[in-house]
A and B are shown apart, each in its own frame.
Chain A
């Protein structure tokens, strides 16, 4: 399937969705006022991907900032993978950013997927 990519802007992240490799990567910052506008095509791509996913899927979240409406989009996205085998989440946070680490830990309580935490 076709890859979907977005370049980073002041308020939206760099997104690389690689269907063949099974890697979905979000980096930078995500605080658009209406996050649904930005995440709608991403969620649609994920729905297509899940019809015939790669043997394993890695979701990489490497965000410095995100707002509450983005957090709902990320959770909805992760939610879609709960029944997909061999899916892992790699959650990155800046060394001293305890808030982002805490947030990742809470997401891992809400979502039934294995999370691995990494420091940038």
Chain B
């Protein structure tokens, strides 16, 4: 199939279907409602289910039920709606269930606004629900990646039996770009011997559960889960570098902001400034080591985000505080311009 022109929201939805997802549970909220609309049109044609739940909380618990039965399931929302899903996500993590959760971020806190933001970074990477848990968090920066990383997220979720989140934003959700969906495919049958899909009296019953009466049992499951997290960290870190090899200044940005920073880096390079861009694609696990290596040669780092600087601490950890870390960001639904980032690159400390 040739390229088609898609919104980011549509690309995620189509990629999910092509990845074998036949169960979508959602509740409308701007700027991600196109996903539900697309699913409502497409799912019946592929024998799938698109269900508008009565609330975000219901939707995530429906995902838990579907994932328990071993099928690929997803939900999507935008920032305030994701907050509502946190409890269910914690239960899903506690049950060791794979699923895809998409956050098309908008400005916050509170009801905030409908314009693009990245202010749920802390929530996604550090505090998505109660308890000792992690999600795999992927940050696409183009409509093509909205599709390819949705596919990747399903694979990783199944592989490690844990929820995966696609952390996008309103701009990526709404903008239109050419997309090639040819490579987006469902895997051959995924073996899920733990699934609660009926045993016909032929095996012991499966139970998906996050409640443990005995504290020692609970501790054991958490420790086992954290051993699995270490495997994820060892195998699944993704990032992209642009002109970092000889860079004296390194801009660190993810998602839509990385696109804007790339333009700014090119502008600065045209003026002879040795600057590069480091783009984490997995926000959890975070590419600490790869970024840390850049501090051997670079003298200054600039974090750029659509929030008040939520990634700064991760960059400081990555480079072990060896270099100064500046910040260039906007928040509340205001987009950065390439010129603002260029000024931060040229201007030294703000």
A, B in one complex: no
